[in-house]
Amino acid sequence: MIFLKIGVISDTHGSFHFFEMAMKYLKDCDKIIHAGDILYHGPRNDIPGGYNPKELAEKINKLDNIIFAKGNCDSDVDQMVINHPIQSPYTLLEANNLSILITHGYTKSKEDMIEEAKKFKANILIYGHTHKKELEKYDSLIVLNPGSTSIPKDGSRSVAIIQEDEIFLLDIENNGHILSQLSIR
């Protein structure tokens, strides 16, 4: 069996600079999952470094292997400039004999998302929104939040990679240092 290498990213909030930094680690992925909050940063004072949503949209449109879940900062205008569907409330990906349920996670508690993932018979639940990394196993369900590439609330900008039977959380500012890893099976 040939396994797909899957990159996971979330909460880019219009930062072209940190998206490019993340892509150094995701460039050879067969699929890239974006768990929402793509272009806009919301009404925050902390505009992310390298904020350039127009350039980020242009870069995203050149990718043919990326799928999106809609975040709370994603709007109809974003869909007008991004040439990939921004799906809500869930996106489902079947890969590597796994069912991966993707949502941004802003409308439900983590417990409710876990229950829905189990109801949909997902093996992995991916969500964003909190800007905090998580890689945990709840019974047979793996829960993954890749954290934020642009405005982390837990100290480091990060992405995740699902590769064969392992999931890795990587620090994109520290040479891809592995922050956490978990066996899938």
pLDDT tens-digit profile of 120-152? 999 999 999 999 999 999 999 999 999 999 999
Could you give the C-alpha distances from 3 to 41, 73, 142, 185, in angstroms and in order? 34, 33, 18, 14
**Nearby residues of 177 by Cβ (< 8 Å), 6 or more positions away:** 170, 171
* Structure tokens that stand for 38 in this block: 């793509």
Q: What is the CATH number of domain 6-183?
A: 3.60.21.10
pLDDT tens-digit profile of 38-89? 999 878 777 888 999 999 999 999 999 999 999 999 999 999 999 999 999 9
The rounded percent of the chain whose pLDDT value lies above 70 is: 99
pLDDT tens-digit profile of 153-174? 999 999 999 998 999 999 999 9
* Structure tokens that stand for 157 in this block: 């900008």
* Structure tokens that stand for 112 in this block: 């409710």
Tell me what the pLDDT averaged over the chain comes to. Answer: 95
* Rounded Cα–Cα distance for residues 162 and 64 (Å): 18
> Where do the structural domains in the chain lie, given as residue ranges?
6-183
- Cβ atoms of residues 95 and 101 within 8 Å: no
The pTM assigned to this predicted structure is 0.96
* Rounded Cα–Cα distance for residues 96 and 165 (Å): 9
